[in-house]
Structures are given as C-alpha cells and as structure tokens.
Chain A
C-alpha cells in the first residue's frame, strides 16, 4: 500500500492505495464519485477523462499514485455553487448528449479546450474531442454545444 494525497475538485483526500490502482477506480470506488465513467480500458474512448493539473487525461490509464500531490477535476467539479458551467448548459441547450455515458468525459475535454482557447473553430473543436468517442449523437450537436459555451463565456 502507498499513501497518497490527492485534491479532487478542491477537496483534499488522503488514502492508502495499491500501487496498481487506476485513478478512475480511485475516483469511482474509493471516493464514490461515479460521474466519471469507464468505457474501454485502453485509452481510446475518453469516457473517463478528468483534468489532472488542468490537463485532460484518461484516468483509466493513470495510476492513482501518479496523482499524488496533484489537482484532479471531475465532472462533479464543473458546477460552482449550484450554477452550471456554460459547457454544461451548452450540452443541454444544443442536445449534445443522448445516453449521457460519454458526456462527463466530453464535458471535461471541452472545458479544458475552452480554458486554453476561448474562440475555437469547428475544426479545433473536432480535433480536441477526437479522443472522446460518442456512439449516440454523431458529434454535430456536441460541436454546437462547445460553440454555445464559447459564446456564453465570451459574454454573448
């Protein structure tokens, strides 16, 4: 067992974990935050995307011990004081989700994109989310959702 200290959505968590424990299992099972999903185990689908020190990572291929001393942000951390982040609003307004399973990962990747790039082109958005698979929407409305959030954040 290894002792780790991970800050998730601003709250510090101390835990003793097996070195082989995946970050996604630490988040879902040890911390019981089930918004982050598992879709493939091979870093392809992106359902498990979280931000590690502000960069999107696929938490099914990061060990919990690698998050020691670092900041993790999950879908549960998007809304602030009960107010939705514009990216969450965008997905609802533009019908950017159907079954909702890829949605947390899509939200985190899109959130990270907009933090880096306030006014992305359609091509930028498609490239940014190309590591997140969605089987329901055909992506067109996800692109619109990200554009909605970009406009909202720009005050539009």
Chain B
C-alpha cells in the first residue's frame, strides 16, 4: 500500500510510536486496582470447595466478629432484591450468589465487605458454610448419558444436560460425498480447556451515590456500553437507571475475551455499594481468575475428510461436543450456538460439508470462547488443518502441494462457502507460496531427510488458515438483542485539533494511536493532534466493544466514515472561503485547493477555524460528526504459517527452531502495531500447543489453578518469531482493512502440531492432542522404541 500522508501527518501505513506508551513506561497507567476513593471498602469472596453440593447453611457470625469486617452478603441477601440470578450474554442464566446449591469448584458462595483487603480476607476465612455433596458430572460425554444427574434443576422441565444441538450443511449430500470418495480419513481431536490469564485479573470499584442515584463503576470491561445496558436490565427493578450508570473501563491489563463476561463479583460489588453507601473495591486474585473466570475451547471433535486419489478434497464432516460448564456463558454474539464453527471449510473449496455440535452442562466453570479467538474459529481451523495433514499422509502427498491443489482460487472471490459464509477477499496460494519461499521449504525437506538418516527428529508443519472477524453484520450478530455495530464521534476544534471518542476499548491494541492515524489519513490532521478516548459510557458513543478482532473492521470503519462526513462539510466551508464551487475543489490530505490553481487552497486547520468563525450563511456552525457503523459483512483475514521443530529424543521436549508467519489482513494502519499483534497472537498460539491446559480431577477440582502449575510461555520458551505479509484489501471495508489481533492465535497451534507430528510421522504417528508436553511426546517416543 502506498503512503498517502507525510510522516508529519502520520496516516495509514506509518509505524507511529504509540501515544499510550508515554504513561505506561512511567508507571502512570491507570488500571482498576489503582482507583482509590474516600471511604472505599474492600470485598472478598468465599468460594466453593465442591463442584456440586447443596448449601445446608451459611454461618456469618464469626466473620462479622473479625475486626474490620462490616457485612457478609449471601444469596439470601441478594434474593431479597431478586438479584441472586442474572442472565448470561447467551440468554442462559447464572447465579450471582447461590441460594440452594453450588455448581463448580470456586463458585462464589458469599462475599465479605471490610475496611481493608486483609480484613476482608480474614473475614472470608471465618465464614462457615455447611455443604451436602451431590454427584458430580465432569466428563461431557457422561453428561449426556441417560442416567447422568440433571444439573440444572433450576430449569423447570429440564430432563437432561444438553444445552443445544446445532448443525450446518447438507448431511445427506455429505454422506454421499464420503460414500463416493476414493479416500477418507478420520481423527478424534480434543482442544483442551484453557484460560486467557491476562496479566491483570478482573475486578471493579463500584460507587453508588444514594442522593443522586448515580452508580459509577470502574471495571475491567472490554464492552463498557453493553455492560451498562445489562446492569440496567438486571437491576432496573431495584432503582438503577441506565442514564445514571457510568461504566468506566480505565487502562486494561490485557483482555483477550476474558473481560467480556459479566462475572458475579461485579454484581455483588454493585449490590454492596448500594447497601453500604460506600465505594466497594473487588479485585480477584490469580487463583480466583484461573479457577472461576471464563475459559476457552474444551471441544471434543471427530473430523473426517473425503477425497479423490489425486488429492482433490470432496467432503468435510465434523462432529463436536462442547463442554460449556454449568451455564452457557460463552459471550459470543452470533446467532449460532456454536459461533462461527461453520467456517470449518477454511481456505479450501469443499463441494460438501456438514458440521454438528452439541453443547452440554458439566460441573465446571462457565465460559467457552474467551482466548483471543473469534467465536470457535480456532477449534474449526485446528480440526481442518490437522485433517489436511492427515490426508496428505494418507495419500503420501506433500502437505503444501495438497493445500495448493485445494485452495479457493484468487479469482473465486467473493467466495460463498458451502456452509454459507461469503468470504470478502483472499489470495491463499500467494500467502503459502511466499511462506514456502521465505523459509526455504525445499532445503528444509532435504535437511529433514538427512537428519532422519542420522536418527534425529526434525519436523516441518504448515497451517493455511482463514479467519472470520469483525462482527456484525447486525442481522447475524447481537448481544441480548443489542446489534453488533460500533460508534465513532469526532469533534474538530477551532484550532484544528480533534477529539475522537469510540464505543470500543483497547486492552493493549493501541487504539489511541491507530484510530488517530485513520482520522489523520482521512482529514490530514496530524495524528499527534488527535486525542482518542474510549471506555467511559458517559462520554463515548454507544458501541459493543473490543473483542474478536472487531475494532478495526467496525469502529475503524466508523472513524473513516465520520471523518468523511467532516470532510464533506469542510469542502463546503472551503468553497465558501475560496469563493468557488465545491466541484472545483480537489482534496489532498490536509487541504482543499482549486483545480488548476494549487496556490488557491485552504488547510483543514483554516477550515476548522472558519467552521466556528466564518461559515457560510445557512450552515450550522461547528465541525463534528458521528458514525454508527453496521458492517455489510465480516472480514476474512488469512495467512500461511510454517513451523520447524526439533525434538529432544531423551526428554520429549519440543524446540521450535523457526516459525514464519505470513499474514494478510488487508490494508494496514500501523505496521509496527500489526507486527506486535502477530507476535502476541503467535505466543498465545504457542501456549496451548505446548503448555496450557486446565486440568480437573474426577471430583471437578481444578488441579492447576495458579501460575506455578498453569504454565504461560516465558521468554525462554518463546521463539524469535519471523513475519512477512501479503496485502489483499477487503472490498467492503472503507479502508480496505481487516482484523488481525487473533489470526496468529488461530493459525499457530495447528502449524506447531503439524510440525511435531511430521517429526514423528515416519514412526507411524498421525496425531497428537495439545498440549504437546514433554511427558506426552516422551511417552510416544518410548511407545515407538525411539527412547528407553
């Protein structure tokens, strides 16, 4: 993409240093736990040691005797206000605090309010709860057996643990494709339960003013407006009124989807500030975060591909079982219970496909999608990209060649997939060919042959993924009916500087910089003179928030369109100032000039001043615009990744020697930030591939609920990522841009698994479930006689 603006203006394509860094590098970021108000009290939560148990009694006497403890809130307290249950964003229901029974280990049971963090923790220790354990359902397959205990006894008439059955595609036609195939391959694939574990845990400071009726809540929220509306809907009957609810999402220490759900702690804190009249701070600790917050994946899949002898893929079939925990709180706004799982045909031109997913309740924490991923795309891509390699193995074909043979061709876009998605643009063979050439694929293949001859284990893995991000369009996406648009409001001030506000909320993506660059691109006002604000519902225009890579596709488009509205008005003012017709003016970033007379011009700064001092008769003063953007379609970023691994035969340790990511996210706003997003996404793809998994025992007790046991990659395990790009603009986005934040999280795990399996393929290994920990790989090596 050619640059249209100078470095001084800093529009699209410039690697501007980030505006937000000035405060972060000085320790001046303002996160929720940094908020301190006069008279503020602290809230801490009593959590269940059982995965399924009746609550016989809660004795608060000793807790209330602890110095500094002022109150203990239980389900019974909230029941008086009918606040003990709340809706999930999937229109299921979730307990705020239980009255009858608990449904998972670490579920909130009661809350202690005290004058200090330490006193609140002492109070939690002193609350006495008597439980009566009930049979536990941990295994989602057993949850569907006829004799399984029905968990959701609160739901009248519920006779089993099934949440939904969903399917997409023509089942009979797909069956025919399999019956007629030369070759079929089939594999069970499990993506384990993982947790985003942003470095900042979740929490809030809630402050209710009884005189004005105003509730201000600073919270770890990726969707401040949606959360405000949910609070108003849930607690309207006790006097909270939406115009008097101010949700402020200050600086967020990462989000990755984990700060989209409304956790009970927020609601309890709101109840506590209303009851006590004091501001209430609730900050979860890391153990609470890992044991109770919204998880991701937990998808048990059986995937199959049908193909001709020459490798042409003719059918795809995937059956999945989704463990949602005790309620469906997946926070995904699509109208499909399995999210965008039907993107499972990926980058290939499948003539037939059929996918079906059953969602079930178990005695585990609720959640389902929150891990830097657009609503089940990661699961779909993982299954597909593993199966393509398994088919290649079956046919003794090169996996790159098999992909190139089956890719949707560049000229086929816009492409309608058999499962109903309209892909906006793509050039899959372009990305894969660049990746093969850049990494030196042919040389790597030769090296592998030599190494194998020497008994060394080296593998090369490819993944060619297609992402689907940027929800809406509103006809298919909403949260509790709230349509998935997003808002941008831009005010150009008399001196030509601007303030822009958005309904999204950065968690590290750098919106203060990139949104300013979009406006700079469109209006020619230097990005350094554009102040971007987000996260305060009292000031920002309505929007559905930042997750699933939707900020650039949706809010970025709103910024461009609001800028263009301003430019249209600026043109009229310029014509007035230059005493000419609008049609005689031409625009270059930062000024209008008279066609053929370039010296006759007015800068955007001169025009801005005139908008307040010398505007045409009959025109409203001012230079402002708002846009609420409802995208016509999603955007479909894509890429091809190649991973090279060496495996230690003695320990089973997987060492990633090289990892090249070729990404295509359309036109790029800030190359430095995009590369940073890809680095981060790759690392969050590496994490579940090699390290992360939430493990539960047969009683539903989490076995690794802290950072000593739940392993995040450190600088020692993380490879030196290599990146490259192709550019295929989105035809429907005003800037030709697509989302990018999650591409690498989606694309990296299959590339890593494919590399490890490739390293072991000569032993007959065809599949390994993630995480591919040293003990798991070592056991395989032992099984195949490679190591003692």
Q: Which A residues lie at the B interface, using CB under 8 A?
A: 18, 20-21, 25, 28-29, 32-42, 44-45, 47, 74-76, 78-79, 84, 88-89, 91-93, 95, 97-104, 107, 122, 125-127, 129-143
B679 touches A107 (CB 8 A): no
* Cα A37 to Cα B252 with chains together (Å): 12
Give Cα A87 to B396, complex, Å.
Answer: 52
Contact B508 A129 (CB under 8 A): no
Q: B679's contact among A35, A88, A141, by CB below 8 Å, is which?
A: A141
State the CA gap A57–B712 with chains docked (Å).
20
When distances are taken between beta carbons in the complex, the residues of chain A under 8 Å from B253 are 37, 39, 99-102
9 interchain pairs, CB-CB under 8 A: A39-B201, A47-B199, A100-B23, A102-B253, A103-B29, A129-B715, A136-B254, A136-B676, A139-B715
Shortest 6 CB-CB distances between A and B: which pairs?
A35-B27, A101-B253, A99-B508, A100-B24, A138-B679, A98-B508
For the complex, give the distance between the alpha carbons of A140 and B656 in Å.
14
B25 near A95 with CB under 8 A, answer no
Assess the B198–A135 pair: CB atoms within 8 A: yes
- A103 near B673 with CB under 8 A, answer no
| B36/A32 in contact, CB under 8 A | yes
- Indicate if the CB atoms of B24 and A140 lie closer than 8 Å: no
- Kindly state whether residue B422 has any CB partner on chain A within 8 Å: no
> Are B679 and A140 in touch, CB under 8 angstroms?
yes
B519 within 8 Å of A (CB atoms): no
Q: Which residues of B contact A (CB under 8 A)?
A: 17-18, 20-31, 33-34, 36, 117-118, 196-201, 251-256, 285-287, 507-510, 672-673, 675-676, 679-684, 706-708, 712, 714-716, 718, 720-721
Q: What is the minimal beta-carbon distance from A27 to any residue of chain B, in angstroms?
A: 11
Interface SS of B by simple majority: loop
For the complex, what is the distance from the CA of A103 to the CA of B507, rounded to whole Å? 14
Residues of B within 8 A of A126 (CB): 715-716
**In the docked arrangement, what's the CA distance between A79 and B714, Å?**
27
Q: Out of A18, A34, A39, A89, which one reaches B286, CB within 8 Å?
A: A39
Please, which residue of chain B has its CB at the minimum distance from the CB of A36?
Answer: B27
Q: Are A97 and B24 in contact (CB under 8 A)?
A: yes
B768 CB → nearest A CB, Å: 23
Contact between chains at A99 and B26 (CB < 8 Å)? no
Q: Is the CB of A133 within 8 A of B24?
A: no
- B25 contacts A107, CB within 8 Å? yes
Q: How far is the CB of A70 from chain B (nearest CB, A)?
A: 20
In the complex, the answer to whether A98 meets B680 with C-beta atoms within 8 Å is yes
Known interface pairs A39-B199, A143-B715; A138-B706 also in contact (CB < 8 Å)? no
A139 CA / B118 CA spacing, docked (Å): 34
Closest CB in chain B relative to A50 CB, distance in Å: 11
CB distance B714 to A130 under 8 Å?
A: yes
Whether B676 contacts A137 by the Cβ 8 Å rule is yes
A42: chain B residues within 8 A (beta carbon):
286, 706-708
Report B245 CB to chain A, min CB distance, Å.
25
> Given A34-B34, A41-B287, A92-B18, does the pair A127, B716 have CB atoms closer than 8 Å?
yes
- Beyond contacts A37-B253, A101-B199: 7 other A-B pairs, Cβ-Cβ < 8 A, are A35-B28, A39-B199, A76-B27, A91-B25, A99-B254, A135-B197, A136-B508
Residue among B197, B200, B672, B681 having the largest count of chain A Cβ atoms under 10 Å? B200
Contact indicator A130/B252 (Cβ below 8 Å): no
Q: Which residues of the other chain, A, contact B680 by a CB distance below 8 angstroms? A: 98, 135-138
CA–CA, A88 and B715, complex, Å: 19
| In the bound complex, CA of A122 to CA of B716 (Å) | 10
Measured between alpha carbons, how far is A20 from B22 in the docked complex, in Å? 35
Q: Of A18, A47, A92, A143, which contacts B21 at CB under 8 A?
A: A92
Query: Chain B residues near A41 (CB, 8 Å)?
Result: 285-287
Instruction: Give chain A's interface secondary structure class.
Output: loop
Q: Which residues of chain B have C-beta atoms less than 8 A from A34's C-beta?
A: 27, 30-31, 33-34
Q: Contacts A99-B253, A99-B507 known; A133 to B25 CB distance under 8 Å?
A: no
Q: Separation in Å of the B355 CB from the closest CB of chain A?
A: 31
Chain B residue nearest in CB terms to A40 = B286
Bound-state CA distance A143–B721 (Å) is 12
Question: Which residues does chain A contribute within 8 Å of B715, judged by CB atoms?
Answer: 125-127, 129-130, 132, 139, 142-143
Complex interface: chain A residues within 8 A of B199 (CB) = 37, 39, 45, 47, 99, 101-102, 133-136
Which residue on B lies nearest to A127, using beta carbons? B716
Whether the pair B254, A135 counts as a contact (CB closer than 8 A) is yes
B118 & A138 in contact (Cβ 8 Å cutoff): no
Question: Contact partner of B256 among A18, A44, A135, CB < 8 A?
Answer: A135
Identify the closest chain A residue to B723 (Cβ): A140
Cβ-closest chain A residue relative to B678: A138
> With A and B bound together, what is the CA distance between A44 and B199 in angstroms?
11
**In the complex, are the beta carbons of A98 and B510 less than 8 A apart?**
yes
Asked whether, in the complex, the Cβ of B676 is within 8 Å of the Cβ of A141, the reply is yes
Selected contact of A103 from candidates B25, B255, B714, CB within 8 Å: B25
Residue pair A95, B18 in contact (C-beta under 8 Å)? yes
> B197 → chain A, closest Cβ, in Å?
7
Closest residue on chain B to residue A88 by CB atoms: B25
Complex: how many Å from CA A95 to CA B673?
Answer: 8
Question: How far is A141 from B25 in the complex, measured between Cα atoms in Å?
Answer: 14
Question: For the complex, what is the distance from the CA of A95 to the CA of B26, rounded to whole Å?
Answer: 15
Q: Once bound together, how far apart are the Cα atoms of A132 and B287, in whole Å?
A: 18
Contacting residues, chain A, for B675 (C-beta < 8 A): 95
- Could you say which residues of chain B place their CB within 8 Å of the CB of A45? 199, 286, 707, 712
B706, A93: Cβ atoms under 8 Å? no
Residues of chain A with a CB closer than 8 A to B196's CB: 135
Docked Cα-Cα span, A79 to B707, in Å, equals 31
Q: Complex formed: what's the CA distance from A48 to B476 in Å?
A: 43
Give min CB distance, A59 to chain B, whole Å.
13
A101–B682 CB distance below 8 A? no
- B657 → A minimal CB distance (Å): 15
User: Which residue on chain A has the smallest CB distance to residue B200?
Assistant: A101
By beta carbon, the residue of chain A nearest B672 is A95
A34 CB, nearest partner CB in chain B, Å: 4
A134 to B712, CA, bound (A): 9
Instruction: Tell whether, in the assembled complex, residue B200 and residue A39 are in contact, meaning their CB atoms are under 8 Å apart.
Output: yes
A129 to B675, CA, bound (A): 21
Alpha-carbon gap, A19 to B256, bound state (A): 37
B707 lies within 8 A of A44 (CB) = yes
Chain A nearest CB, measured from B30 CB (Å): 8
Contact of A97 among B21, B198, B706, B708 (CB under 8 A): B21
Query: Given contacts A98-B508, A138-B683, is CB(A130)–CB(B716) below 8 Å?
Result: yes
Complex CA gap A129/B680 in Å reads 16
**B673 to chain A: which residues have CB within 8 Å?**
95
Please give the distance in Å from B15's CB to the nearest CB on chain A.
8
CA distance in complex: A14, B297 (Å): 50
Interface-central residue, A102, A139, A143, by most chain B CB under 10 Å: A139
Which B residue's beta carbon lies closest to that of A126?
A: B715
Q: How far is the CA of A38 from the CA of B31 in the complex (A)?
A: 11
Q: How far is the CA of A84 from the CA of B197 in the complex (A)?
A: 30
